[in-house]
């Protein structure tokens, strides 16, 4: 795994820029969606089948976006034996805004204090679920530019997805992902192969800055999502000169098929085997933890690696579709290295994610009534400095600033590296900071999306 020494930025264009290491954090408690269906009095399967979610992770009032990101970054650095002076760029993608001026990235800089490294570029990037992808692209562009100084880039995507009482509440979730980006990566970007579409729409937005809850137009959001997917795929396809479209389909406008049940059923039947093979393995985190917003598509990527061995993944291509309401979307692809030998970068990446099922199983199950009470408490204390719930379910210690001064007391690093993959108390930070004072062309191995209930 990468060490602390900076990489050489001299010589030719850096080769195989991509993801070297990946760390995932999710809350230590969840609510069962079947039990939530019963409490809400809805038909059986509305959440578990309709949304594809068996469980939904959630945070108490002791965790916020800062604590989630602090935890996932510290875990990534410790698990991979990295020193903070080996990082030259740190960028955060999030839509969970608790300060209208101060970035989450600046909060994370407290982890760098002991190293003395303050020469770290990047701030926060925001556009609904797309912010993490934009931050990742910025990191890749930095490594492939004249600005690169030979060090790694660190990309963090984190969010807490909560909704007001009603039909949207079961679509929530929470979590954070940290990705180490550099050259000679086991998971490399396919240079130049991106299809992007951006457009103005009010399908999902958060106009009330005093509330965590969004305003959602569900039908419009689905239409925007599918339209963005079609357009991104068209651009991506054109870039690799894949002329696959049949003449008989050219007169059909894609938008006319979005809510056609017959078309949906036909497509699902035709692609069922491909879905089981290529996409379903990536849905572990989505089905067990729910919607994480910006980290969702990268939680799918982690799930894919947790469900396969290094030898199974070697040489494969992975297609990812990232959509953020408002809206911004990109379809792009990654290529897995051929080298899967013991001790290789790919083998280490896969090994670091093989404990996801164990970590998910170790979480605490709470009743729907307790979940509802917790959401009510978050609603009432979102703007307050002092949390009200138990310390046990927190990550980094939460301390909101009093007037103008704020200090983080980081949790102590675990003495046993093996505990870094668990939800043990000493591996989490509590809430701190906040208010101040269809598959891609050429059959990639998997198609991942940041929509938990999407079918591509």
Instruction: Give CA–CA dist 289/54, Å, rounded.
Output: 8
Coil, helix or strand at residue 255: helix
Burial of 101 (0-12, 13-18, 19+ CB in 10 A): exposed
To the question of whether residue 303 is assigned a binding role by annotation, the answer is no
CB count within 10 Å of CB 437 equals 11
Residue 220: burial class (beta carbons within 10 Å; 0-12, 13-18, 19+): middle
Residue 244 half-sphere exposure, CB side, CA atoms within 13 Å? 13
Residue 159 parent element (H or E): strand 152-161
* From 129, 224, 232, 300, the catalytic residue: 129
Strand, helix or coil at 356? helix
Which structure tokens are listed for 64?
A: 């916020």
**Residue 27 tokens, joined:** 């809350």
Q: Of the candidates 223, 132, 237, which has an alpha carbon nearest to the alpha carbon of residue 177? A: 132
Residue 300 known to be catalytic: no
Maximum pairwise Cα distance, the chain = 66
Catalytic residue among 23, 63, 91, 95: 95
CA–CA separation, 381 vs 78, rounded Å? Answer: 32
d(C-alpha 395, C-alpha 126), whole Å: 23
Nearest alpha carbon to residue 451 among 306, 296, 320: 296
224 annotated active-site: no
**Residue holding tokens 């038909």?**
43
Positive or negative torsion for Cα 230, 235, 238, 242: negative
Yes or no: say if 292 and 56 are a contact pair by the CB < 8 Å rule: no
Task: Classify the phi-psi angles of 308: left when phi > 0, otherwise alpha if psi is within -120 to 50, otherwise beta.
Answer: beta
Other beta carbons within 10 angstroms of residue 195's beta carbon come to: 23
CA distance 59 to 143: 34
Neighbours of 239 (CB within 10 A): 14
Q: Report the binding-site residues for CoA.
A: 221
Residues in the annotated binding site: 221
Residues taking part in catalysis: 95, 129
């Amino acid at each position: 795994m990468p060490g602390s020494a900076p990489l050489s930025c001299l010589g030719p264009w850096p080769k195989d820029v991509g993801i070297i290491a990946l760390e995932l954090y999710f809350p230590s408690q969840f609510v069962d969606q079947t039990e939530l269906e019963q409490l809400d009095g809805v038909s059986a399967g509305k959440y578990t089948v309709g949304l594809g979610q068996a469980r939904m992770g959630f945070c108490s009032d002791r965790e916020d976006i800062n604590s989630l990101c602090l935890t996932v970054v510290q875990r990534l650095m410790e698990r991979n034996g990295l020193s903070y002076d080996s990082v030259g760029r740190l960028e955060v993608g999030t839509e969970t805004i608790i300060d209208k001026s101060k970035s989450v990235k600046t909060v994370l800089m407290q982890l760098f204090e002991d190293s003395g490294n303050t020469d770290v570029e990047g701030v926060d990037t925001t556009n609904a679920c797309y912010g993490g992808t934009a931050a990742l692209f910025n990191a890749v562009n930095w490594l492939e530019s004249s600005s690169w100084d030979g060090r790694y880039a660190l990309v963090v995507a984190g969010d807490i997805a909560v909704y007001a009482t009603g039909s949207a509440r079961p679509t929530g979730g929470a979590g954070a992902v940290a990705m180490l980006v550099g050259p000679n990566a086991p998971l490399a970007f396919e240079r130049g192969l991106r299809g992007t579409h951006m457009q103005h729409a009010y399908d999902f937005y958060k106009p009330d800055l005093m509330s965590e809850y969004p305003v959602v137009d569900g039908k419009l959001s689905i239409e925007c999502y599918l339209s963005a997917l079609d357009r991104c795929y068209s651009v991506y396809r054109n870039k690799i000169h894949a002329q696959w479209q049949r003449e008989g389909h050219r007169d059909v406008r894609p938008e006319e098929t979005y809510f056609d049940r017959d078309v949906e059923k036909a497509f699902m039947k035709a692609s069922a085997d491909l879905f089981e093979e290529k996409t379903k393995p990536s849905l572990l985190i989505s089905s067990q933890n729910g919607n994480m917003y910006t980290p969702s598509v990268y939680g799918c990527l982690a799930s894919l690696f947790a469900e396969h061995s290094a030898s199974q993944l070697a040489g494969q291509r992975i297609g990812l579709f990232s959509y953020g309401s408002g809206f911004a979307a990109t379809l792009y692809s990654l290529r897995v290295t051929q080298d899967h030998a013991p001790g290789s970068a790919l083998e280490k990446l896969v090994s670091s994610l093989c404990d996801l099922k164990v970590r998910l199983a170790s979480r605490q199950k709470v009743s729907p009534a307790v979940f509802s009470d917790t959401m009510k408490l978050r609603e009432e204390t979102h703007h307050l400095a002092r949390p009200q719930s138990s310390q046990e379910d927190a990550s980094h210690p939460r301390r909101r600033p009093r007037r103008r001064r704020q200090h983080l007391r980081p949790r102590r690093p675990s003495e046993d590296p093996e505990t870094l993959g668990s939800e043990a108390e000493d591996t989490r930070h509590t809430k701190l900071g906040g208010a101040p004072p269809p598959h891609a062309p050429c059959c990639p191995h998997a198609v991942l999306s940041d929509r938990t209930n999407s079918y591509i």
